[in-house]
């Protein structure tokens, strides 16, 4: 079997989180491990009506192949939504993709040769790293701060890569409520990272799947709005706000870059489902997205508040034990004292029927052993509080080992 495999395939692993999740499926376990959105936050009744209408009355389009670029009406609805955030988008600047994950795949397909360098966060989204590995990219990690990627270190790393003669291709960054940490890139850094990309002639891949899930704090314009030289590609998705199952996302960028993605997509799957695009377009045209998002935000905000409040109450006090306070998205990130091992905490937490993802999984190097990702997306506030109590007790015990 192995003899048939491409180098690429030998280089690509399955998601390690999948293995973690296996342990957390028992019903008595309160799991902060998963990262799925709450299906109750999706407008299922409205989508059901849109689906019936579009499939029955518009079958000539909604059941037929479409263009690789995507259904025009769907793209126009997305443009109309994104324009509200300062993005200037024409039809030539937007392609519908079968999820943002596919957009990451297409970006790699278009731009990455084996050995090319991608700069990414430390930690970063695991699915992106899997895609990068599948294209045999060389992933260079850049630590995150409270206001996002450390741009001083980014520039240093870029220079180091230049000196080795390797080809840096793009910076992969999740600017809003990053998975896994929940941190958001500051406005100043959004401007600065574009300058850095210009200076060193790199593309920026701005991946913002949680864009619509901001439930507090001040809105920050996408990195692409600061782009003057046509080098920023923005990926955003409906998977967290309308439906994950429809697998609908859009990629926005300069026409030349988008055209390359179209060429790669044609060879990859011809087109994104016209059925789901027409359903989403119909729903977006006939419903108030911001009203819908208000409800969705209330749900996630309450859950975040419950988690932060209970952490404050029950986690042991220590300068070395810190966590992020996200303004959106689905995750809180905990940094334990340096000497602590989140894998060992994970084992002990499981015994107490509470679970999370040990943070080292999200690192492209061997750091992060003392970190944990907690998701508040799927649980009730009562479950969140109970789970945090249990987890706090486990950490407390580990932090101050009984000396007798």
Site for a copy of itself in 222-241 (CB under 8 A): 239
By CB under 8 A, what part of segment 135-154 binds a copy of itself?
135
- Which of positions 152-191 make contact with a copy of itself (CB under 8 A)? 169
The dihedrals phi and psi of 94, each to the nearest 5 degrees, come to -140, 135
Binding string, residues 113-132; x marks residues near a copy of itself by CB under 8 A: x--x----------x--xx-
Among 45, 288, 339, 404, binds a copy of itself (CB under 8 A): 45
Label the pairing between strands 203-207 and 138-145: unpaired
Shortest distance (Å) from residue 70 CB to a copy of itself = 12
Beta-carbon contacts of residue 290 (< 8 Å; ≥ 6 apart): none
Tokens 């009406």 correspond to what residue?
73
- Nearest residue (CB) to a copy of itself, 283 versus 315: 283
Among 20, 51, 142, 307, binds a copy of itself (CB under 8 A): 51
Q: What angle do CA 359, 361, 365 make, to 5 degrees?
A: 100
Rule CB under 8 A: say whether 256 interacts with a copy of itself.
yes
| Among 146, 164, 270, 290, contact with a copy of itself (rule: CB under 8 A) | 270
Q: Are 234 and 257 in contact (CB under 8 A)?
A: no
Find the binding residues for a copy of itself in span 296-355 (CB under 8 A).
Answer: none
DSSP 234-281: EEEESTTTT-STT-EEEEE--HHHHHHHHHHHHHHHSS--HHHHHHHH
Site for a copy of itself in 199-218 (CB under 8 A): 201, 203
Residue among 25, 26, 63, 318 that touches a copy of itself (CB under 8 A): 63
Asked if residues 326 and 183 have their Cβ atoms less than 8 Å apart, the reply is: yes
Which stretch in 263-271, 288-296, 333-341, 345-353 sits in contact with a copy of itself by CB under 8 A? 263-271
The nearest distance, CB 186 to a copy of itself, in angstroms, is 27
Which residue in 22, 68, 119 sits closest to 264, CA to CA? 68
Of the candidates 272, 335, 370, 375, which one interacts with a copy of itself according to CB under 8 A?
A: 272
Sign of CA dihedral 155, 157, 161, 167: negative
In whole angstroms, give the CA distance from residue 155 to residue 203: 14
* C-alpha closest to that of 205 among 112, 295, 292, 122: 112
Exactly one of 267, 294, 295, 382 binds a copy of itself (CB under 8 A); that residue is 267
- Rule CB under 8 A: is residue 260 a binding residue for a copy of itself? yes
Of 70 and 148, the one with the shorter C-beta distance to a copy of itself is 70
For a copy of itself, the binding residue among 271, 308, 374, 384 (CB under 8 A) is 271
Beta strands 148-149 and 138-145, pairing class: antiparallel
Residues near 184 by beta carbon (within 8 Å), at least 6 away in sequence: 147, 148, 175, 176, 177, 178, 217, 220, 326, 327, 328
4 sits near a copy of itself (criterion: CB under 8 A): yes
Instruction: Report the C-alpha gap between 396 and 377 in whole angstroms.
Output: 25
99 binds a copy of itself (CB under 8 A): yes
Query: Which of 179, 208, 236, 274 touches a copy of itself (CB under 8 A)?
Result: 274
**Looking at beta carbons only, is 86 or 114 nearer to a copy of itself?**
114
> Is there binding between residue 381 and a copy of itself (CB under 8 A)?
no
Identify the helix (H) or strand (E) that includes residue 394. helix 381-399
Distance CA 31, CA 353 (A): 8
Stretch that binds a copy of itself, among 105-113, 144-152, 345-353, 384-392 (CB under 8 A): 105-113
Q: Per CB under 8 A, does 52 bind a copy of itself?
A: yes
Tell me which of 25, 26, 44, 195 binds a copy of itself, using CB under 8 A: 44
């Amino acid at each position: 079997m192995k003899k048939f495999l491409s180098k690429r395939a030998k280089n690509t692993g399955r998601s390690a989180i999948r293995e973690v999740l296996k342990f957390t499926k028992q019903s008595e376990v309160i799991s902060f491990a998963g990262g799925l959105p709450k299906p109750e936050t999706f407008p299922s009744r409205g989508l059901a009506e849109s689906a019936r209408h579009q499939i029955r009355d518009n079958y000539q389009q909604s059941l037929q192949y479409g263009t690789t670029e995507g259904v025009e009406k769907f793209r126009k609805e997305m443009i109309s939504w994104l324009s509200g955030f300062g993005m200037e988008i024409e039809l030539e600047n937007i392609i519908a993709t079968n999820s943002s994950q596919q957009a990451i795949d297409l970006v790699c397909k278009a731009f990455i040769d084996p050995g090319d360098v991608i700069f990414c966060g430390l930690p970063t989204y695991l699915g992106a790293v899997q895609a990068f590995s599948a294209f045999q990219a060389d992933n260079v990690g850049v630590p995150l701060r409270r206001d996002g990627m450390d741009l001083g270190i980014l520039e240093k790393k870029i220079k180091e890569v230049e000196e080795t003669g390797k080809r840096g291709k793009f910076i992969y960054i999740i600017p809003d409520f990053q998975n896994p940490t929940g941190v958001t890139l500051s406005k100043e850094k959004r401007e600065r990272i574009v300058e850095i990309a210009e200076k060193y002639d790199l593309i920026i891949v701005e991946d913002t799947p949680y864009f619509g899930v901001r439930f507090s704090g001040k809105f920050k314009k996408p990195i692409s709005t600061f782009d003057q030289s046509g080098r920023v590609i923005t990926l955003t998705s409906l998977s967290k706000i309308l439906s994950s199952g429809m697998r609908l996302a859009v990629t926005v960028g300069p026409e030349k870059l988008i055209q390359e993605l179209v060429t790669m997509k044609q060879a990859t799957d011809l087109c994104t489902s016209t059925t789901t695009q027409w359903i989403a377009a119909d729903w977006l045209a006939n419903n108030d997205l911001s009203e819908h998002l208000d409800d969705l935000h209330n749900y996630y905000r309450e859950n975040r508040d419950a988690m932060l409040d209970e952490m404050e109450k029950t986690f042991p006090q220590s300068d070395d034990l810190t966590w992020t306070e996200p303004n959106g998205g689905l995750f809180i990130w905990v940094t334990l004292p340096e000497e602590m091992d989140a894998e060992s905490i994970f084992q002990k937490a499981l015994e107490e029927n509470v679970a999370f993802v040990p943070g080292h999984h999200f690192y492209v190097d061997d750091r992060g052993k003392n970190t944990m990702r907690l998701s508040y997306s799927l649980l009730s506030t009562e479950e969140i509080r109970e789970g945090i109590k249990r987890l706090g007790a486990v950490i407390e015990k580990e932090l101050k080992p009984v000396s007798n």
